[in-house]
Chain A
């Protein structure tokens, strides 16, 4: 798009109101040039785009509060944004609204190694926390594939997890407290120094609320001790069903790996083309199994895992012999989404979850649905917790194929729900799946969630149009998935 294309200045942001935002966050913290505004027109879900009326970049809780108070006073909707790596359109701007970008809020408020916690502003990256904690032998467990650039504020908003949720839990389990600016501009603290907060757990509701309940301006996270021992293996199988059986075997044996990831043949092919991580192209499916913890326990579980893969028809097992080889395996896995470009010009990505015991049947059904649709579906996912990322491959140059592919992608996520699962395991609902909420929840369920939202945001100005189904969203198609430039460059991954 040409940089000098004019963008109509929404009437909501008058010159006088712009001056007030400048007074709140400083001249350098206000973006109103049309070309610059377009930087903020979408997040990682690039199919939805909306140029905001104004972007403000506060540097403190007080500045966020001041900006939100102006929004509240003038009825201007606002959307908080971190690094913009979200995949569900959660940071999609609102027409005539402002974006409150938190990228300048990267201060570390405090590191408390004795109590194994750290307090940071929301613009600190996920992996940045672990880097800062590393000298103390500590780390931050949630690890979304975009962790090098995604921010902890976004993690909190989306409750975005990653590969190691199975053993260590989700972002929600690792956030001890937040400072929240509510949609009227009030500043309050949820959670905090006490492990057992008193009263209903508002913090637990705010985490994963997709920026619809306020703006988190400080986050206190729980840090974990680096595990003493980490063991990883890659097991090849002749079918995804065999691989699924091996995962079930692990569960039945009482082994809880730190991570269990699965790639099917298409995903392996794409990963190998992109990274040369050493996955076997002959395999129909590969499992990455990682165990960690106390060395004696870890060794015992690793032996069990290896034995169970063998007894569940693994055709080969590779055990990395160096840290570099292990890192390459994970780079291969985390680059899987971006790698799809090697084998297909376009694709849709899904984020459904199914009960683990249904992995085999559901994957078989997805393959059948793909055959019926005449399309290819690659699968790369978190097998341990049932979080699927089916990638529906298509070629937009063929008339009607994009629509056909999207229908298949939707049918797959609905299959996840009818199998007892969820429409999202980590990407969030956002603008992308708001309409699918009706597949998972009853009107009463949604109405009660809306009551909770109203308690926080009675005027509906805080990231409106996300999470809840609306006629507008449900009438639009998000368009094809386009990888983030950093994905294409192999710097970050997805899912």
Chain B
């Protein structure tokens, strides 16, 4: 971890505070780590010990909510679950359901990490939902990007630049959000399927005419190859009723037996699914992405490697999107071997992998990201322009920039 006994910790309460705190450190080159709820502090490369830690705890206001425009402006430190409670009073929500929500994930952290949940199939990620942001750069410059309207092409979309930046470019202080109406009802179907069956089923579901909100597949660390397919549809009562019937028929046509879950049971299944992506302190969490139709190859490669190295590998996949979160259990050396080799296999499939939470020994020895992309020189150039003294989260993208 990056914290040391010498790390000064502050929590600015407004933009000026944040600007001052960062700007004053520029002259002395003080390095800095930004933090929210720390639900994803291990994602990416291990950050070197920093002189300063700036928490967004004090930047946690709901600055404005315009229900008629379906927009809201929030401080980066606001927990998503707190925001959802406020928005629900007006029948709206931020259409995001990350696994880290219950652990207190903040709006700024969600933008910085690109974290999202199953319903990203329908609504996207913060890349799609954040329409503006206020950023504080390492030199204290306060920058506004975007605006309060969803259709806006004026200037560079710096909000997107900060999506996935993992705190390496500056402090996300405020975010302007596009909201959605809360769905009136939600239905979930459950079926048992192998990864190949689930991949084919996801394609059939997308051709069904119904617009599923989430299609997820999961498999425990050990098993016979079968996993659980969960399909969610949101909408009006009549829409979800008719939609789930049709989706069940589609699954049946694929040879899968689907069951409509009671709402309470469905909630438990989704909670279990979220839990399956986290991992314990002794486990390595690897996030992989490739083309959706390559999911069977990606998962088979993982299974083979896990068997070879005596590792248990639980998988939770956004199967329609080709995104897989694997939680590896076993000896640290074996976890590292599986993570490293799986990443190479996924890269040969045209995809990529990054490491999330993992034991210290794995973090110390295995780089968080794989082969640098062809755009790495540009990433370095952008980093140099925004943070020339490399003060923000040093080491986060080690090997890339």
Contact = CB atoms under 8 A, between A and B. Distances in A.
Contacts of B69: 251, 355-357, 386
B57 to A, nearest CB: 24
Contact of B400 (A165, A199, A252): A199
Given A188-B373, A254-B91, A446-B155, 13 more contacts: A159-B153, A188-B378, A195-B321, A198-B354, A199-B166, A204-B163, A208-B156, A296-B236, A428-B153, A437-B154, A440-B154, A448-B137, A452-B156
Given A115-B293, A173-B124, A356-B69, A442 B161 contact: no
Interface stretch (A56-64, A69-77, A271-279, A415-423): A415-423
A50 to B, nearest CB: 23
A116 B206 contact: yes
B7 interface: no
7 contacts: A114-B292, A115-B292, A251-B69, A297-B243, A382-B151, A420-B149, A452-B382
A259 to B, nearest CB: 12
A294 B242 CA distance: 9
B184 A194 contact: no
A297 B160 contact: no
Question: What range describes how many residues of B lie at the interface?
Answer: 35 or more
Interface of A: 112, 114-116, 137, 158-161, 165-166, 169-170, 172-173, 180, 182, 186-190, 192-205, 207-209, 225, 227-228, 248, 251-252, 254-256, 293-297, 300-301, 353-357, 382, 385-387, 420-429, 433, 437, 440-442, 444-449, 451-456, 467
A417 to B, nearest CB: 9
B163 A200 contact: yes
Contact of B153 (A196, A202, A426, A455): A426
Given A169-B124, A445-B143, A467-B155, A420 B148 contact: yes
B58 interface: no
A451 B386 contact: yes
Nearest to A197: B164
A294 B211 CA distance: 7
A297 B379 CA distance: 44
B266 interface: no
- 6 nearest CB pairs, A to B: A204-B160, A254-B181, A357-B68, A297-B239, A228-B209, A194-B289
Given A173-B124, A195-B289, A353 B149 contact: yes
A454 to B, nearest CB: 6
B206 A300 contact: no
A60 B342 CA distance: 35
B144 interface: yes
B151 A426 contact: yes
A186 B66 contact: no
Contacts of B242: 294, 296
A453 B156 CA distance: 9
Interface of B: 66-71, 91, 114, 124-125, 127-128, 137, 141-145, 147-166, 168-169, 180-182, 184, 203, 206-207, 209-211, 235-236, 238-239, 241-243, 287, 289-293, 318, 321-323, 350-352, 354, 369, 373-375, 377-379, 381-382, 384-386, 397, 400
B391 to A, nearest CB: 15
Contacts of B161: 200-202, 204-205, 452
B379 A187 contact: no
A68 to B, nearest CB: 15
A66 B138 CA distance: 37
A193 B351 contact: yes
Nearest to B350: A193
B143 A422 contact: no
Contacts, number: 258
Nearest to B353: A198
A296 B245 CA distance: 12
Contacts of B159: 204
Given A195-B289, A256-B180, A454 B385 contact: yes
A420 B131 CA distance: 13
A355 B148 contact: yes
B69, B291, B378, B381: which has the most chain A beta carbons within 10 Å? B378
A202 B378 contact: yes
A203 B128 CA distance: 13
A296, A441, A447: which has the most chain B beta carbons within 10 Å? A296
Contacts of A295: 209
A350 B154 CA distance: 13
B352 A442 contact: no
Contacts of B184: 254
B153 to A, nearest CB: 5
B32 to A, nearest CB: 17
Nearest to A468: B155
B30 to A, nearest CB: 21
Nearest to B369: A198
B143, B159, B182, B321: which has the most chain A beta carbons within 10 Å? B143
A189 B373 CA distance: 8
Contacts of B207: 137, 225
Contacts of B235: 294, 297
A190 B206 CA distance: 26
A424 B169 CA distance: 27
A301 B235 CA distance: 10
A159 B150 CA distance: 13
A451 B239 CA distance: 49
B317 to A, nearest CB: 12
B156 to A, nearest CB: 5
A86 B69 CA distance: 28
Given A188-B374, A293-B211, A256 B181 contact: yes
